[in-house]
Amino acid sequence: MILIKVWYRITGLLLKALYKIVYGRHMRWGKAFHMRKGFQATVENGGEIVIGDDVFFNNGCGVHARKRIEIGSGTIFGENVHIYDHNHRFADPDVPIKDQGYTEGAVTIGRHCWIGSNVTILKGATIGDNVVIGAGCTIAGDVPSDVVVRQTPTLETTAIRRP
């Protein structure tokens, strides 16, 4: 088990070095930022990714910015979480979707959040501090601080104030 953890740390350091070379000032992170196997980050068109101190991404996570994604310190991510600050345009049925461009909206995730496995966070989302997002949720709007967000059996998303 120790060898696996050492391997994750070494490959994470190499990946961070590669991101620094490729994205330069467009991707920044604080102290003790760690990611596991399969982490992906893309920055396009002058976008920016800013990650706070002591942030952890589990296996298979992705952060994809064309505008700005900011993640607060102490936030942790379950497996396969994906964050996008852009979406395809699709209004004109006579033009292929891939040729219509994108809409963009900054994403902000607060401090000390727990984002559960298989969560998707979409453009324009703002998540407050101390928030728990349950596994499998899709977040596309504002989530206030100090709540738990979960999916109901009917696939609705509800927010419950934390005690």
Residue 56 falls inside a structural domain: yes
Res. 48: pLDDT tops 80: yes
pLDDT digits (tens, 9 = 90+) for 20-37: 999 999 999 999 999 999
Res 9: pLDDT: 81
Q: Does residue 162 sit within a domain?
A: no
Pairing between strand 102-104 and 86-88?
Answer: antiparallel
Domain count, the chain: 1
What pLDDT sits at residue 157?
64
Instruction: Please name the residues in contact with 13: beta carbons below 8 A apart, sequence gap of 6 or more.
Output: none
Q: What is the dihedral of CA 156, 162, 79, 31, to 10 degrees?
A: 140
Evaluate whether residue 160 is within a structural domain. Answer: no
CB contact set of 88 (below 8 Å; sequence gap of 6+) = 97, 98, 100, 101, 102, 103
CA angle 151, 157, 163 (to 5 degrees): 85
pLDDT grade for 60, boundaries at 50, 70 and 90: very high
* Predicted pLDDT of residue 158: 66
Q: Is residue 16 part of a domain?
A: yes
- Quote the domain boundaries for residue 38: 1-149
Judge whether 45 lies within some domain: yes
Distance in angstroms between the alpha carbons of the first and the last residue of the chain: 36
Q: Is 4 within a domain?
A: yes
Strand duo 132-133 + 114-115: pairing: parallel
Q: Would 163 be classed as within a structural domain?
A: no
81-128 pLDDT tens trace? 999 999 999 999 999 999 999 999 999 999 999 999 999 999 999 999
What's the number of CA atoms in the CB half-sphere (13 Å) around residue 147? 14
Tell me, what CATH number does 69's domain have?
2.160.10.10
For the chain, the average pLDDT equals 93
- Could you tell me if residue 11 is left (phi over 0), alpha (psi between -120 and 50 degrees) or otherwise beta? alpha
Among 78, 88, 85, CA closest to 49: 85
Give domain status of residue 85, yes or no.
yes
